[in-house]
Structure 1
Amino acid sequence: MMSRKIVILILIFLNITFLHAQVKFENPQINAESKVLFTVNHKLGGTVSYKTLFMADATQSESTRILTCFPEKMELLSNGSVLQVRNRYGTARYSVADSTLSWIKREDSIPADAKAMLPQAVSPDGKWACFVKKTDAASGELYLKNMSTLEEFLLNDKCDFDYDEVPAKWAGDGSVFVYEKAGNLYFGDPKAIYQKVQMGEEFRKIGEGTINCVQWANGKYLIYINRDLVYKISAKELYTRGLYSPVVGIGIVIGRLPIGFDSHKDKFWVSPQVNQIVTVSANSVISSYKINGTASSYFTSVYSKPFKDISASAVDYDVFFCSDGSQILWVNLIGLLDGKRNSSVYRLSSELKELIRVENATRPLLSPDGRKIVFASQKFAFVYDLGTWLELGRISGEKVYSYAWSGSNLLYIGGESTVREWKAENNRFSKDGKMLFLSSANTAFWKPNAENIVCAQSATNKATFYDYDPFKNVWQTSADDSRTSFEFMKKAEVSVYAVQNARYRVYTGLTDNKLYENALYIRNFSGNGTSYAVYPETVKPSDERKKLALIFDAIDSADGLTHILAVLANYDIKATFFLNGEFIRRYPQECKQIIESGHDCASMYFSVTDLTEKGFIIDENFIRRGLARNEDEFYAATGRELSLLWHAPFYKANNEIKKAGELSGYKYIEAGRLSLDSYTLEKAADGKKWYLSARDLVKLYVDSAEPDMIIPVTVGLSDGTRRDFLYEKLSLLIGDFLDFGYEFKLVRDLK
């Protein structure tokens, strides 16, 4: 007979698996004044998981209040006097002057679906923001918003939608911005737009290109690249050059790049003094140049080499300029042999010298004066001096999700437990920051014989207690003896909190809504003793969350693999990779990288062959031997076994081929007769009509979505050309399906 301990472990495992994508109400309590305290625990795939503390009124005379505010995104507004925090419940603002937190926009219900947080391009002075409102799967409308009045002004009624960036960039003083529209770049003056005196777009055109073609240098100059020519445009001259561009031209040409700039695949950075420029071409070749200022000459090359790390592959890059003429190169990596996320920091001059390697780091953020950067790793936030690369301070205790500079000596750090203010004195940051408010709630309870709320946050076996200030909607470190608070908390846990007063009882119970694990109920003892759900929508009957699977076909190219793995990791999604024998033989380290990143690996036969072509004698033995050979080669490369799933190359298989695979122990995965993103321009020119852009493919899949759908994505192509690839829009594809309430599963877990 199975032991009780094993049974319990199995039940725990099943419970965790079943509840992976649920919303759960926890720890309800009620005080003598009929105020109800409870937490909501979100564990939704593709988004950050955290517990939010709420207070409701059992008499229903007051609306529900959110007591903690998780910093999924943070921005500084009104010249640093307001800290804006955005999360799945809405938008809150913390006033630095009076230490109060208030919600300016919030959800009335408890959101059941995972939603990706949308980016905003906020002006450096915090008075304005550009953002995109989604109109369909791949498109949206670009708006300018006044962050004080919340008025919105339409800039572009048809632009590409993206979950990662906004097609707009601000000058350093926030007086002007550049935005992309219909393949062209324009500048805008927010004050003129607000006062409705902005000139027509035909007088504000900079030139052709995408938003990647421009960068601001020191807030004074706009650097614009058109193919290989590099222009310098003074912010003060934008209107003049816009009005008289046929006569005076776009700007001053300050040199040429030796290779044309592809704004869809390349990136560039320019120094504040406009005397250096760094480019990264095709996410591979790093080039550093001196700007000579001569219109007809090429820039002087200081360094130009493909980036190579024998232990990892590069995801993306950041570049920061130092006063001594060198640059700091930040490279985000995925390990080839262990699949771990790391970042390497290099000093770039005439050579590349590694300074440090950071495990699982957040993206670095440069201070306003350009001399410091902040980043986070594990449960630490770090500040480094850019020029010397010396540590100026670190703050520990919790995982960090967001941060914002206020000047160059003050930081706001958004962690998993608290949001803190972190100051520097004499150019050194303190060991501890000032706690502003709580991000989430581990344990909260009513104080004995009082209306006050206490929240306990524990770290390294030590609990810190906080008292709630209902007038300012923030928390302060408790003045009570921590031992007394801790003992009361333990007693409260034993008694499963105070769930009943003289009039009401609060409890969690079952619900017919399968998007929620449970619901929160209040029972009224008076009258007929009725019960009601605090949130009625949580008890309305609903089907389970719709599921779908992503599968990735690696035929003979690894071009998009690093990007794919990075996006999947960002959304915490696991997928199945179908590997062809040609891919395994060419990229054995990448095969290990896939499986060590936690993904399933399945078979796409041992060769790149259309098994249905005439001339092949396909029998059971042929299929068995091909599948077996793929297994052996994968095991030799990784020391692991392939999953017993397969599909033929190009999804071309008949019933005889599928039956032969079945007799070999394999299940055939059908994702349609076509892998649409493998169609090339050459095939389109040959009369085949299936060529679609990456954005059109995203829209096609989203518009035709259905439960248990399988979406195939090609990792890379060695033959033929495309303008873009579906894997380049993977974040958009995933975000769209999350917005529509889908949950991503491994293909073997679908019906």
Structure 2
Amino acid sequence: MWRRLLVSLGLLCSFLLGAEEVVFSDLVLSPLNTVLFTASLSVPGVGAYRTAFWAEPGTGTLQQLSFFPERMRFLPALGKVQIYNRYGLFRIPLEGGRVEVVERFPAFVRGAEIATTSPLPIATSPDGRYLVHFEKDSPAYGTLVMVDLETGEEVVVAEGIELSYREIPVSWAPDSSLFLYAHDGMVYYFSISQWREGRVLSPERRVMGRGKIGSVFWGGGGRLYFVEGTVIKVFRKEEIFTHGFYYGVVKVGRVVGKLPFHFDPNFDRLWIGPEENFVLFCRAGRDVFLYPLDREDYEGGALQEPSLVLPRRMYLEDVVWDDEGKLTLFVKEVHDGTVERRLFWMVVGSQRVFEEREERPQVWALSEDGSYLALAMEDGVHLYRYDSWTEVGRIDHPEPVVLAWAGDDLVVGGRWSVSRYGRDGSLKALLCISQPEGLGFTVGDYRPMVWAGKDTVQWDVARAVFEVREDRPAAGAPVLNTSAYRVYLQDLPEQPYRNIVMVRDLQGLSTYPLFPPPERSYEPFPEKDESVDFTYFTHGSRLRRREVALVFNAISSAEGLVRVLELLKEYGVKATFFLNGDFMRENPGATRQISTFAAEVGSLFYTHFDMSDSRFALSEGFIQQGLARTEDEYFEITGRELALLWHAPYYFVREDLLRAAAAMNYVYVGCDVDSLDWVPQFTREGESRLYAPAARLVERIVSMKKPGSIVAFTVGRPDEKDPVRRREDYLFQKLDVFLNELIARGYRFVTVSELMEHAR
């Protein structure tokens, strides 16, 4: 009871101290002068968790005792489960009993710093031997590196790759012989055999075509499908090399189908059926079409195949498609301040419409042979025969986070433990503790023990193995000193670690940290503050807090809004939205979405026009009427009131406008960092001088922001109504990159009202 209370208080502290800091706690010192402690942090979409460690101050040995499955997969060739989190990369045999720290990959127990941001994704080859990962070079760019985990050899695949915290732009061939990667709007291949033989060609001789990693799909027999424009081509493995060498000169590969729409790799997705006779095309995440895969040219023809049109609050997240043609769509719905999944199902070839099912899973996994589907829901993990949707078992595993099939067994990664179960739901093995509810030492030999729920493990740190136990050490006050050592916690101001474990060597008369402190500190504050205008508020205090306010201006388009709201909720970011009357009238559903998700909503006036235009005479009465009508319209749509914050279209400001709004108790909110995400690549006059790709915009914003900044974004796409005003990509697709960079620099996110209050 005492230990559980201690851990619960520690988790609460990690929430209060902020998601960007690592907090160490739960120190226990054994008579053998070994130390137990925990580290806690918070993960977007998962919440706070802690990790247990054992250390020996005399030798500097450090060993991890719990392994939270932030990301998890099964490696069939090795027969091991791979877990990836902020502390490193780990592999666990299916029988459990030991956890291997993957060599040649950064790990906290080997001296690496704990990442306070989301871990950048990795791509492990199917045979488990090779690993492709990012090495971060700047806020939005990195180097793509491949590592041979057996030999330790590394090779730089490409530099200047745009970072993403959702996926790495890599797709491995099923036989691990090569992978494809995307760089700067092009897709390339990288061959393992060519690398081994020292004959890697230059990138221009390894081109597959224009697109992103979503433009490729691996089929049976190692066949590669590639979509470019409206054409779907298939390549045999040997044709990949020929195509790359003669790209743009000789046409290689076979056209197997055409899309009825131009494929946009920014928003569209494609799946080829297991029998490779049907294609599922998802346009802009919401319009889903299923049709035969053939070379029929759809120009001038009628498309009469099954389709599904999703409302703007939903988007297609994933697809499960078995060899018998049973197709399930996993759709994410962002609505009424919550995020949940919905299922749509059909049998390809025998049904004409998708049927919605009643299950609302959090995570899912289809067995390798397509026979069984596992769905994790609020009441446990349900196992179904996929051909009939007959439930055949239920696993009562507390708080599942991720699922992975391992042959006939299901591995459930939960908040407290990771276990392997049979298809009938029977427990076969405890693979590891995810996070501890308690920890302590055994009596007599003082071996470390970690437990959570009903599961307890005892570690033999010398052999790096553990065994499952039924007993637990008796509760008692933690021991922090022996005749040789004393251990304690010391605060680290302005550091990614909130504190650090210190060791006082009573015999050697020295004091030192148990492990290396972080090398980086948070960004320094400016040398002096700047005056703050509370009538025309453009920034907060530069010295009091390391915080920024994110502002999202909704003018016309609502494209990408669902992903923005989902990310803000996932990262716990409080933001301020400004809504224009035109947006509300054209997008009442999106307006209601914003009202339930946004921490604060202000006015962007009744209609959107250039107030600096000399053709318009603006009176104080006109401004007041426009603000009042916007308030009333927002209330009619949402049943809620706007905050008394506003700014004019295009941030136009004039003294009489400020005076008119102030008479209604409105504060004019400007910004000191314009993201420029509204700038198109081209206008009708030609190329835009201010245009930059989304990753460059992230770098620009990061370099310009200061403590107290107001950073302005624009909701939607500038080309939704005017195709000429298109961009190659969109900043809302890089919002997670921006958020992680500011978190790493020690920033917190507040509303405009909070920023004002903190500046007074």
Same fold (TM over 0.5): yes
1:92 aligns with: 90
**Structure 2 Cα separation of the partners of residues 124 and 241 of structure 1:** 24
Aligned equivalent of 1:726: 731
* Contact 1:503/1:524 (8 A) holds in 2: yes
Amino acid at match of 1:606: Y
Aligned to 2:456: 465
SS at match of 1:215: strand
C-alpha distance in 2 between matches for 1:242 and 1:538: 44
Cα pair distance change 1:241/1:465, threshold 3 Å: closer
Q: Which residue of 2 aligns with 1:534?
A: 514
> In 2 relative to 1, CA 355–305 (structure 1 residues): closer, same or farther, beyond 3 Å?
closer
- The residue that corresponds to 2:342 in the other structure is 343
TM-score (norm 2): 0.84
Can you list the C-alpha shifts for 1:640-689, whole angstroms capped at 9, x where unaligned? 22223222222112243234333433333221485622223564726863
Taking the aligned partners of 1:513 and 1:303, their CA distance within structure 2 comes to 59
Partner of 1:210: 212
Question: Retained in 1: the 8 A contact 2:581–2:630?
Answer: yes
Cα separation, partners in 2 of 1:207 and 1:511, compared to 1, 3 Å: closer
- CA contact under 8 A between 1:116 and 1:738: conserved in structure 2? no
For the 8 Å contact 1:319–1:329, the answer to whether it is kept is: yes
The answer on whether the counterparts of 1:67 and 1:473 sit within 8 Å (CA) in structure 2 is no
* More displaced 10-residue stretch of structure 1: 201-210 or 728-737: 201-210
Cα 1:297–1:613 change in 2 (3 A) is closer
Q: How many residues align?
A: 715
Partners of 1:352 and 1:512 in 2: CA distance: 59
Say whether the 8 Å CA contact 1:121–1:130 is kept in structure 2: yes
For residues 421 and 195 of structure 1, do their structure 2 counterparts lie closer, same or farther at Cα, with a shift above 3 Å needed?
A: farther
CA deviations 1:219-263 (Å, max 9, x no partner) are: 432122232222222224434555677897321222322333223
**In terms of mean alpha carbon deviation, does 316-325 or 222-231 score higher?**
316-325
2:226 to 220, 224, 227: 224
Match runs of 1:587-598 below 5 Å: 587-597=587-597
Partner-residue secondary structure (3-state), 1:80: coil
Contact 1:173/1:219 (8 A) holds in 2: no
Residue 106 of structure 1 is matched in structure 2 by: 107
SS at match of 1:340: strand
Decide whether the 8 Å contact of 1:292 with 1:299 is kept in 2. no
Q: Quote the residue 1:81 is aligned against.
A: 79
Distance of 1:244 and 1:585 partners within structure 2: 52
Over 3 Å counting, the alpha-carbon distance change for 1:174 and 1:344 in structure 2 is same
3-state secondary structure, aligned to 2:313: strand
Q: Partner residue of 1:628?
A: 628
For 2:451, the aligned partner's letter is A
Deviations 1:38-93 (A, max 9, x none): 222224778752111122334x3333332222222234457133433222122233
- Structure 1 pair 49–587 and aligned structure 2 pair: CA distance change class (3 A): same
The yes-or-no answer on 1:499 pairing with 2:480 is: yes
Contact 2:402 2:414 in 1 (8 A): yes
Q: Give CA deviations for 1:412-470 in whole Å, capped at 9, x if unaligned.
A: 332211122233xxxx3424352111121121122344402333323xxxx54332332
With the length of structure 1 as denominator, give the TM-score of the two structures. 0.85
Aligned residue for 2:752?
747
| 8 Å CA contact 1:28, 1:37 repeated in 2 | yes
Judged with a 3 Å threshold, the aligned counterparts in structure 2 of structure 1 residues 157 and 517 are, in CA distance, closer, same or farther, namely closer
The alignment's C-alpha RMSD in Å is 3.6
Q: Closer, same or farther in 2 for the Cα pair 1:175/1:582, shift >3 Å?
A: same
Aligned residue in 2 for 1:478: 469
Q: Deviations over 1:686-716 (max 9, x none)?
A: 6863233322212211233322332222112
- 2:353 maps to 352
**Correspondence for 1:27:** 26
Taking structure 1 as reference, are residues 343 and 598 closer, same or farther at Cα in structure 2, changes over 3 Å only? farther
The 5 Å alignment of 1:406-417 reads: 406=406, 408-417=407-416
User: Which residue of structure 2 lines up, in the alignment, with residue 138 of structure 1?
Assistant: 140
Local SS of the residue matching 1:444 = strand
Q: Quick one: which of 721, 738, 743 aligns to 2:743? A: 738
Structure 1 window deviating more from structure 2 (118-127 vs 88-97): it is 88-97
Gaps of 5+ in 1: 1-11
Give distance in 1, aligned partners of 2:15 and 2:157: 46
Cα pair 1:554 1:715 within 8 Å, conserved: yes
Aligned partner of residue 338 in structure 2, secondary structure: coil
The alpha-carbon deviation at position 331 of structure 1 amounts to 1.4
Equivalence map 1:153-164=2 (5 Å): 153-164=155-166
Q: 1:708 to 1:266 in 2, by over 3 A?
A: same
Which residue identity is paired with 1:508?
Answer: L
Any gaps of 5 or more consecutive residues in structure 2? 1-10, 526-544
**Structure 2 CA distance for aligned equivalents of residues 360 and 658 of structure 1:** 50
Change in CA separation of 1:689 and 1:438 when aligned onto 2, cut-off 3 Å: same
Deviation at 1:204, TM superposition (A): 4.4
Measured after TM superposition, the shift of residue 19 of structure 1 is 4.8
CA drift at 1:34: 1.6
Mapped to 1, the partners of 2:112 and 2:48 lie a distance apart of 14
2:487 partner letter: V
Which structure 2 residues correspond to residues 522-561 of structure 1 after superposition, within 5 A? 522-525=503-506, 532-535=512-515, 537=517, 546-561=546-561
**1:194 Cα deviation after fit:** 2.3
Conservation of the 8 A alpha-carbon contact between 2:171 and 2:181: yes
Partner amino acid, structure 1, of 2:368:
P
What is the distance in 2 between the residues matched to 1:118 and 1:16? 22
Is 2:425 aligned against 1:430? Answer: yes
Distance (Å, rounded) in 1 between the aligned partners of 2:239 and 2:112: 50
1:279-428 pair list within 5 angstroms: 279-292=281-294, 301=303, 303=305, 305=307, 307-309=309-311, 313-335=313-335, 337-347=336-346, 349=348, 350-359=351-360, 361-362=362-363, 364-378=364-378, 380-406=380-406, 408-423=407-422, 428=423
Cα deviation for residue 400 of structure 1 reads 3.0
Take 2:508 and 2:399, find their aligned partners in 1: how far apart are those partners?
Answer: 49
**SS at 1:70 equivalent:** coil
| Secondary structure class of the residue paired with 2:354 | strand
Show the counterpart of 1:186: 188
**Equivalent residues of 1:183, 1:210 under 8 A apart:** yes
CA distance, structure 2, for counterparts of residue 194 and residue 527 of structure 1: 51
2:282 and 2:316 in contact (8 A); partners too: no
Aligned to 2:61: 63
Q: Structure 1 residue 14: deviation in Å?
A: 11
1:677-692 correspondence runs (5 A):
677-681=677-681, 683=683, 685=685, 689-692=689-692
Report the CA distance shift for 1:436/1:464 in structure 2 as closer, same or farther (over 3 A). Answer: closer
Per mean C-alpha deviation after superposition, the further-off stretch among 535-544 and 185-194 is 535-544
Change (3 A) 1:293 1:373: farther
Relative distance call for 1:97 and 1:328 in structure 2 (3 A) is: closer
Distance 1:587 1:270 in 2: 34
Residue 3 (structure 1) aligns with = none
Partner Cα separation in structure 2 for residue 13 and residue 120 of structure 1 = 31
Q: Identify if the C-alpha distance between structure 1 residues 140 and 514 changes in structure 2 by more than 3 Å, giving closer, same or farther.
A: closer
